[in-house]
Amino acid sequence: MTDKRPQIIIIVIFLVGFVLLAKLFSIQVLDDSFTKKAERNAVQRIVDHPYRGLIYDRNGKLLVYNNPIFDLMVVPKEFALEDTTRFLEIFKIEKEELEERYEAARKYSWVKPSILKKQISTTDFAKIQDYLIDYPGLFITTRSVRSYPEPIGSHALGYIGEISGRALERDTTDYYKQGDYVGLSGMERYYESLLRGVKGAKYKMVNVRGIDKGPFKDGIYDTASVEGLNITSTLDMDLQKYGEMLMQGKTGSVVAIEPKTGEILSMISAPFYNPNDLTGADFGKNYQALNSLPTKPLFNRPIMAMYPPGSIFKIVQSLIGLQEGILFPETTFACNRSLVACHNHPSPVNLFGAIRNSCNPYYHQAFRRMINQEVSSNTYKDTEIGLTAWKEKVEKFGLGSALGMDMSGELGGSIPSSQYYDKVYGEGRWKYSTIYSLSIGQGELQVTPLQMANLAAIFANKGYYYTPHLIKAVNGDPDEIPAKFRERHNVGVDAKHFDLIQDAMAEAIYGTAARAVIDDIVLAGKTGTAQNPHGEDHSVFIAFAPKDDPKIAIAVYVENAGWGGRAAASTASLMIEKYLRGEVLREGLQEYVLAGDFIY
Amino acid sequence: MRQDIQVNRIDWVTILIYFALVFIGWFNIYAAVYDGQDAKSIFDLSINSGIQLVWIGTSVVLIILIMAADYRLFENLAIPLYLLFLVLLILTPFVGKEVNGQVLSIGVGSFRIQPGEFAKFATALALAKFMERPTFDLSKVKYQIRAFAILMVPVVLILLQPDTGTAMVYFSLLIMFYREGFPSKYYLLGIGMIAIVLLSLGIENNLYLAVAIGAICLFLILLGKRSWQKTIVFSLIGLGLIGITYSIDFVVSKLPSHQQNRIMVLFNPDIDPLGVGWNVTQSKIAIGSGGMFGKGYLQGTQTKFDFVPEQHTDFIFCTLGEEFGWFGSLVVISLFVALLVRIVIMAERQKNRFSRIYGYSVLSILMFHFMVNIAMTIGLFPVVGIPLPFLSYGGSSLWSFTVLLFIFIKMDASRASQLGRLS
């Protein structure tokens, strides 16, 4: 009975060997997940964060640079606390925060480092440095935050911050990792890919305690980080600083453009904030505080606030009329105030007089001629055809849709279409009398301060513009800027029609904006008043100067400051002087603006 | 003293395999403790590979002593040695050194031995001595009880230390019992019960298992000739098995928590990869990352950087798997299979029952260690602290396996001088 048993035992021995080898074959050869796990275990990828590119102003002055900060890291496996109270004291960390961070670190990895405390200032770092040796499993890593020599240009420059979960999901290139910093607004966001540089990586081997065991495979997989590109912006630091001083305590926008290039010289959104507040350890706290302020300092007014263009739109109307042969310099209309209210001025007026006096009834009548050209015998149909043709011409002035500047979140304003009126009033149920307020820039028209400044540039250029932009050069090379900013846009109005307009604008300020007059600089401007149903009207002014060789075109909005001739015109004039002369001689006017009491 | 060794009767194949395994072990111990940034010589006595070489050297002395001794010595010493180690095992908890709650070793200063290790071959010798008698018949209950008594005394004493791993090794002698005629039905029953225990631990809902057992029993009852006795027997077996199914979770819950965890980790290593599952997870990563041909000698990262605990002792196989890949595993496993098969062949050619029984005991112990140790490193068996014979670092372990094996080689070499007492 037992004579077969030795053979059975031998079979069992072979079976055991076979089972072991089969299982080994499956985990060693067939399943390669262990190789990856082993690398994750023992090979640590140390990301070498590149230096983010710097941002300079148009004259080479530094606007944004990098400042080193320190993160406290923890390796849970090695970390042990004996005296918690003392630890909390030294490292200035709350007990709950410590527990929360440690738990998160433990969940992430037992042996790999995680952040325990973020962004320790240089002074705090100096204090804790000596204590680090008492705490195994703790060490410091260095990275840098953005800093600003002058606390200006916050909206234009933008800020950086930790990448959001949603942005990580959208990142198909898989470049970003949790905790990476990324431009979140302004130039920082738009030029993220230029500024960020290229991350490098070092692969080093670590043992179970996270201790460095030298480079992985002698560093053949290591890559060096590449510094971000430096950007020269079109901003003029001095002008920006001066403008922000003038806008201090006010609500509104300033956009100044070099007409010949579309370069934005200054861009102010008031109220503004100190860009240094949105860097470093206090980012979250300060952001919350700014975000909850009723004055909305984070709101980027020049590109996001929309107002009716008001009287300034009359210039656009005049130009379209001239180009279409509907208006001529000698075309006269009576200032018929039964049609629409007007100021006190001689009547009738020709086109020059209409611009100079900002005559509302003139444009009421002129606009009717543009809209109702009797193409159709049906008044309703005729109005619809007229409006559609007119809208197309207005859009050429960069209105009705975003200009496409180098900043995300730009809004386009609106020019109502016939479809819009069909929806509101019903098809064939609206005519000129329904839409006449468009003639004087009221009604459903909406433009942003940026578009308004661009209009000033168009008037200065006599019929063309370059898309306004904030980038002047990349690493000193002006050819590296996006090609779309070197594309000239013609508005479809011949240059000859602009002479009358420019003359009228130069003349107009003597009447409506006497404060804006500068003795030795010829300035062409136009006031506007954006009606505000919620309170005092907004003061609006656009201008360019010098009239014969425009170097600066500007739009200024001061909210709730009443008539355009006061707050906005004064601010614009001072900034023009500052830019062209380099200094401001009219101290009285400057004080008037700084006092900010424009209503009475 | 009469020279009874005939050199050409010594089984050189076995000795060759022995030294191959010992030196593979030695190289791997060096790899396990090797530190690329502070590389020391393999002979350096400040690292474990240097010390292991001392153990290898002393093992050679032991081998020479064993080969030079009279073959009858072991037979005569069987019972006294057994009693001696029983005394030592009893003394261990009182005079031994406590490490991690276990008292395993006794000795003076740095010279320490683990009686539990050496009691294995003493027990094997005692069983051989007891079972060689012509009247002995393992198919009879009377002798079964006596054989088990000899086996169980050291087991109980070792469990008191407590050292479950070593205690389990003694049950490997059931393989030897099998050769000596212990009835097959017990093995089938045992294997069946283990299978059911494993299944009921692995399967969430015990009802499925109970239904399956019931169905199989019913099938067996209806199959072939039907009788009352058969129906009753199978019904009782079926009910017993279903009872085990339902009680196993309860039994497991009564085990000490570390043993409970080791069992549960077997079914789901991910339950706690940083805690209980750490050893198995890291061990599998180390071996699994070796690939077909490994990362190269001294190039392993998992074992080298201490991710695998006990890598030079119980988890020495990880170093091999990582640095030499499946090919290295194949070589070592083949060597073990060859050694085990060789021992069976040698045992079968013995002229007396004493040598044969002892040979099968050696086989049983080596096979159990080999199977369980490697199985645990790749997650096929719960983690029990038993070394891989000849490869793992450690004096007690290497000496006891050497003595165990070479006593049998000595018996085999002297077989011509022995009286044919085979029954």
Q: Assess B191–A contact: CB distance below 8 Å, yes or no.
A: no
Q: Assess A208–B contact: CB distance below 8 Å, yes or no.
A: yes
CA A412 vs. chain centroid, Å, equals 14
| Residues A61 and A237: beta-carbon distance below 8 Å | yes
Q: Which residue has the higher pLDDT, B239 or A557?
A: A557
Decide if B329 and A33 are in contact by the 8 Å CB cutoff: no
pLDDT attached to residue A402: 93
Q: Is the pLDDT of residue A326 over 80?
A: yes
Q: What is the 3-state secondary structure of A560-599?
A: CCCCCCCHHHHHHHHHHHHHHHCCCCCHHHHHHHHHCCCC
Q: Which residues pair with A264 in a beta bridge?
A: A257
Q: How far is A3 from chain B (nearest CA, A)?
A: 9
Q: Assess A4–B contact: CB distance below 8 Å, yes or no.
A: no
A144 three-state secondary structure:
strand
Written as six digits, the tokens of B8 are 């050409």
Show Cβ contacts of residue A76 under 8 Å, excluding neighbours closer than 6 positions. A102, A105, A106, A109, A110, A111, A114, A137
Q: Domain-by-domain residue ranges, chain A?
A: 68-127+138-143
Using alpha carbons, select from B87, B80, B85, B75 the residue that is nearest to residue B133: B75
d(CA A551, CA A580) in angstroms, rounded, equals 8
Q: Assess B292–A contact: CB distance below 8 Å, yes or no.
A: yes
Provide mean pLDDT across the span A79-88. 82
Q: How far is A115 from chain B (nearest CA, A)?
A: 20
d(CA B216, CA B255) in angstroms, rounded, equals 30
* Sign of torsion over alpha carbons A470, A475, A481, A482: negative
Using alpha carbons, select from A216, A152, A95, A185 the residue that is nearest to residue A409: A185
d(CA A539, CA A532) in angstroms, rounded, equals 10
Q: Is the pLDDT of residue A91 over 70?
A: yes
Decide if B180 and A37 are in contact by the 8 Å CB cutoff: no
- Of the listed ranges A162-171, A285-294, B148-157, the least confidently predicted one is A162-171
Decide if A41 and B291 are in contact by the 8 Å CB cutoff: no
Cα angle for residues B11, B15, B18 (degrees, 5° grid) = 145
Which DSSP letter does residue A28 get?
I
Written as six digits, the tokens of B177 are 């019992």
- Determine which of A13, A35, A106 to mutate to test the interface with B (most B C-beta atoms within 10 Å): A13
In single-letter form, the type of residue at position A160 comes to I
d(CA B82, CA A239) in angstroms, rounded, equals 101
d(CA A540, CA A305) in angstroms, rounded, equals 13
pLDDT attached to residue A148: 93
Facing B290 at nearest CB: one of A20, A28, A214: A28
Q: Assess A108–B contact: CB distance below 8 Å, yes or no.
A: no
| Residues A486 and A542: beta-carbon distance below 8 Å | no
Q: How far is CA A260 from CA A60, A472, A551, B41, in A?
A: 20, 13, 8, 77
Provide mean pLDDT across the span A330-357. 86
Across A121-258, the runs of DSSP E, i.e. the strands, are: 138-147, 160-162, 181-183, 200-206, 212-215, 231-233, 252-258
Facing B337 at nearest CB: one of A17, A37, A39: A17
Show Cβ contacts of residue A394 under 8 Å, excluding neighbours closer than 6 positions. A316, A320, A400, A415
d(CA B33, CA B44) in angstroms, rounded, equals 11
| Residues A153 and A235: beta-carbon distance below 8 Å | yes
| Residues A291 and A285: beta-carbon distance below 8 Å | no
| Residues B110 and B77: beta-carbon distance below 8 Å | no
Q: Assess A328–B contact: CB distance below 8 Å, yes or no.
A: no
CA A286 vs. chain centroid, Å, equals 19
d(CA A238, CA A265) in angstroms, rounded, equals 10
Q: How far is A112 from chain B (nearest CA, A)?
A: 13
pLDDT digits (tens, 9 = 90+) for A370-380: 998 888 888 89
Q: Rounded to two decimals, what is the model's pTM?
A: 0.63
Decide if A27 and B301 are in contact by the 8 Å CB cutoff: no
Facing A38 at nearest CB: one of B289, B292, B344: B289
Facing B36 at nearest CB: one of A5, A25, A213: A213
> DSSP of B221-273, one letter per residue?
HHSSS--HHHHHHHHHHHHHHHHHHHHHHHHHHHS-HHHHHHHHHHH-GGGST
Q: Assess B334–A contact: CB distance below 8 Å, yes or no.
A: yes
Written as six digits, the tokens of A137 are 């499993």
Q: Is the pLDDT of residue A596 over 90?
A: no
Decide if A38 and B288 are in contact by the 8 Å CB cutoff: yes
- Residue of chain A whose Cα is closest to the Cα of B325: A28
pLDDT attached to residue B2: 46
Mean pLDDT is highest, among A96-110, A427-441, A457-471, B146-160, for A457-471
ipTM of the complex: 0.87
Show Cβ contacts of residue B189 under 8 Å, excluding neighbours closer than 6 positions. none
Greatest alpha-carbon span in chain B: 76
pLDDT by 10s per residue, chain B, length 423: 445 555 668 899 999 999 999 999 999 999 888 877 677 888 888 888 888 999 999 999 999 999 998 888 888 889 999 999 899 888 887 777 776 666 667 766 656 677 887 888 899 999 999 998 888 888 888 899 999 999 999 999 888 877 888 888 899 999 999 998 888 888 888 887 788 777 777 666 677 778 878 888 787 777 767 778 778 887 888 888 788 777 777 777 777 777 777 676 666 655 555 555 677 788 888 888 888 898 888 877 777 777 777 777 888 999 999 999 999 999 999 999 999 999 999 999 988 889 999 999 999 999 999 999 999 888 888 888 788 999 998 888 899 899 999 999 999 988 877 665 544
Q: How far is A5 from chain B (nearest CA, A)?
A: 6
B 102-121: CB under 8 A from A: none
Sheet holding A200-206, edge to edge: A43-48, A200-206, A212-215
B 366-385: CB under 8 A from A: 367, 370-371, 374-375, 378, 380
d(CA A357, CA A370) in angstroms, rounded, equals 21
H-state helical runs in A66-203: 84-91, 95-108, 122-129, 154-157, 165-170, 186-190, 192-195
* Sign of torsion over alpha carbons A92, A95, A100, A106: positive
Q: Taking CB atoms and an 8 Å cutoff, what residues of chain B touch A29?
A: 291-292, 325-326
The helix (H) or strand (E) run that includes residue A70 is strand A62-74
d(CA A58, CA A263) in angstroms, rounded, equals 10
pLDDT digits (tens, 9 = 90+) for A480-520: 999 999 999 999 999 999 999 999 999 888 888 888 889 89
Facing A6 at nearest CB: one of B179, B286, B375: B179
| Residues A113 and A74: beta-carbon distance below 8 Å | yes
d(CA A95, CA B150) in angstroms, rounded, equals 61
pLDDT attached to residue A126: 83
Look over chain A and give the mean of its residue pLDDT values, rounded to a whole number.
88
Q: Assess A11–B contact: CB distance below 8 Å, yes or no.
A: no
Q: How far is A220 from chain B (nearest CA, A)?
A: 16
Q: Is the pLDDT of residue A1 over 60?
A: no
Burial A509-541 (b: 16+ CB within 10 A, else e): beebbebbbbeeeebbbbbbbbeeeeeebbbbb
d(CA A210, CA B154) in angstroms, rounded, equals 44
| Residues B150 and B176: beta-carbon distance below 8 Å | no
Written as six digits, the tokens of A138 are 């703790």
- Residue of chain A whose Cα is closest to the Cα of B373: A20
d(CA A116, CA B138) in angstroms, rounded, equals 67
| Residues B379 and B280: beta-carbon distance below 8 Å | yes
Q: How far is CA A305 from CA A110, A118, B166, in A?
A: 50, 36, 81
B 23-62: CB under 8 A from A: 36-37
- Residue of chain B whose Cα is closest to the Cα of A14: B337
- Residue of chain A whose Cα is closest to the Cα of B308: A208
Q: Assess A14–B contact: CB distance below 8 Å, yes or no.
A: yes
Facing A24 at nearest CB: one of B307, B344, B378: B378
- Residue of chain A whose Cα is closest to the Cα of B34: A213
Decide if A27 and B330 are in contact by the 8 Å CB cutoff: no
Q: How far is CA B347 from CA A535, B11, B71, B361, B414, in A?
A: 109, 12, 15, 10, 13
A391 three-state secondary structure:
helix
Decide if A28 and B326 are in contact by the 8 Å CB cutoff: yes
| Residues A523 and A581: beta-carbon distance below 8 Å | no
Q: Assess A41–B contact: CB distance below 8 Å, yes or no.
A: yes
The residue with tokens 């043992």 is A207
d(CA B285, CA A35) in angstroms, rounded, equals 7
What band does A2 get if pLDDT is binned at 50, 70 and 90?
Answer: low
Q: Taking CB atoms and an 8 Å cutoff, what residues of chain A touch B292?
A: 28-29
Q: Domain-by-domain residue ranges, chain B?
A: 7-182+347-417, 183-254
